[in-house]
């Protein structure tokens, strides 16, 4: 099995049929520098107070935790990080400071990896992410539906898509092997993933939605190949708007996310307007819901004015997964083409050019 550490503070009943949220930490919840060796080494040494939360993300996660009703349904919330287990204590304190309740965390076991003389595994992520998700799934009730949150700085979109299709038995061992080799996994990493896959006893089509924060410079169009249930977002406000549309959160939660964004991060009401505009054009919410929610923000001084002509633009919307039998994972050729061609300068993805500079 892949070297990892998992803490789970909550056992769900076997008949649980609700949502379970799993959120990546680095670049999704926290602004973590893990692209350089120095950045990686600093991660476990930082105090909780020194860690920077992605603006708006604490409010967005609290919204998903609460759910759509008046009374909180305490949606199970787990975190996933490529950082070592010692980070868990610091991260718990950071969540406490942010007011984010959670039920557990999975970490990459750096010490074990180094003892096994596999230092490259610390930086490579896809084998770890797949192993961690598959391992976590063995503890979840059969009917639990998953919401996954990550970012596009490395491989979250592909890892989440592969995981969803593995669960639904849409990808066999041969295709998975091809993908893992394509992503640079060595023989031992592949073996670890296959072991976690073979331990899965309760497969099913259980991943309902994937949210991906855009931080790589690519625009939303790059991820259309994964289908409409992979929702990309520039800021947590768009995540919250989509969550309201899909019945995961309340309209009032959008207000809290907007407040958090405007609180000392250089975001203006006009930027909030742009977020609404982009979300409507990409089909993340209907114009009617956009106007209703935007009006609440405008009354509170959190937004300026929404273009009355804004509407869904089909060219900016991802296709339904139904068109390819429910699969999340594109073909290898489609994936490579999307990753190389659909950059932020493309007309369909130019929204990402105005990315936040917090």
Residue of 257, 292, 286 whose CA lies nearest to 64:
257
Q: Please report whether residue 281 resides in a domain.
A: no
Q: Could you tell me how many helices (H) and strands (E) the chain has, helices first? A: 14, 7
Taking the CA atoms of 13, 15, 19 and 25 in sequence, report the sign of the dihedral they define.
positive
Q: Please report whether residue 262 resides in a domain.
A: no
Q: Please report whether residue 307 resides in a domain.
A: no
- Domain residues for the domain of 98 are 4-236+243-249+315-354
Can you give the pLDDT at residue 352? 41
Q: In b/e form, how buried is each residue of 59-95, taking b as 16+ CB within 10 angstroms?
A: bbbbbbbbbbeeeeeebbbbbbbbbbbebbebbbebb
Q: Please report whether residue 305 resides in a domain.
A: no
Check pLDDT > 50 for residue 349.
no
Q: Please report whether residue 210 resides in a domain.
A: yes
Are 170 and 326 in contact, with CB atoms under 8 Å apart? Answer: yes
pLDDT per residue as tens digits for the range 115-124: 999 999 999 9
Q: What mean pLDDT do residues 11-19 have?
A: 96
For residue 63, what are the contacts with CB-CB under 8 A and spacing of at least 6?
A: 240, 243, 248, 249, 250, 253, 256, 257
Does residue 228 come out as left (phi exceeding 0), alpha (psi in the -120 to 50 range) or beta? Answer: alpha
Q: Please report whether residue 14 resides in a domain.
A: yes
Are 23 and 211 in contact, with CB atoms under 8 Å apart? Answer: no
Can you give the pLDDT at residue 214? 96
Check pLDDT > 90 for residue 314.
yes
Alpha carbons 116 and 127: distance in angstroms, whole number: 16
At 89, the pLDDT band (50, 70, 90 cuts) reads: confident
Q: Please report whether residue 301 resides in a domain.
A: no
Q: Please report whether residue 319 resides in a domain.
A: yes
Number of domains composing the chain: 1
| pTM of structure | 0.93
Alpha carbons 250 and 248: distance in angstroms, whole number: 7
């Amino acid at each position: 099995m892949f070297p990892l550490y998992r803490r789970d503070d909550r056992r769900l009943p076997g008949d649980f049929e609700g949502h379970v949220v799993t959120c990546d930490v680095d670049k999704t919840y926290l602004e973590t520098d893990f692209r350089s060796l120095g950045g990686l080494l600093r991660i476990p040494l930082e105090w909780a107070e020194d860690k920077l939360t992605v603006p708006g993300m604490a409010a967005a996660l609290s919204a998903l935790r609460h759910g759509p009703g008046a009374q909180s349904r305490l949606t199970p919330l787990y975190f996933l990080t490529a950082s070592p287990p010692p980070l868990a204590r610091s991260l718990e304190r950071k969540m406490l400071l942010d007011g984010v309740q959670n039920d557990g965390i999975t970490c990459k076991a750096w010490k074990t990896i180094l003892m096994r003389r596999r230092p490259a595994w610390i930086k490579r992520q896809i084998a770890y992410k797949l192993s961690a998700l598959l391992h976590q799934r063995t503890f979840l009730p059969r009917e639990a539906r998953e919401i996954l949150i990550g970012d596009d700085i490395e491989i979250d979109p592909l890892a989440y898509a592969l995981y969803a299709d593995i669960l639904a038995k849409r990808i066999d061992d041969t295709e998975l092997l091809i993908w893992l080799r394509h992503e640079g996994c060595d023989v031992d990493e592949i073996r670890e993933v296959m072991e976690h896959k073979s331990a899965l006893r309760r497969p099913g089509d259980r991943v309902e939605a994937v949210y991906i924060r855009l931080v790589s410079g690519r625009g939303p169009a790059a991820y259309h190949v994964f289908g409409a249930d992979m929702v990309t977002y520039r800021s947590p406000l768009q995540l919250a708007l989509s969550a309201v549309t899909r019945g995961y959160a309340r309209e009032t939660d959008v207000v809290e996310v907007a407040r958090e964004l405007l609180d000392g991060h250089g975001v203006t009401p006009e930027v909030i307007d742009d977020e609404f505009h982009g979300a409507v054009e990409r089909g993340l919410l209907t114009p009617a819901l956009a106007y209703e929610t935007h009006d609440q923000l405008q009354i509170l001084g959190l937004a300026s004015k929404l273009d009355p002509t804004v509407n869904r633009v089909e060219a900016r919307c991802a296709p339904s997964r139904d068109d390819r039998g429910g699969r999340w994972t594109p073909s290898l050729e489609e994936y490579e083409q999307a990753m190389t061609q659909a950059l932020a300068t493309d007309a369909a993805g130019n929204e990402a050019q105005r990315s936040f500079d917090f």
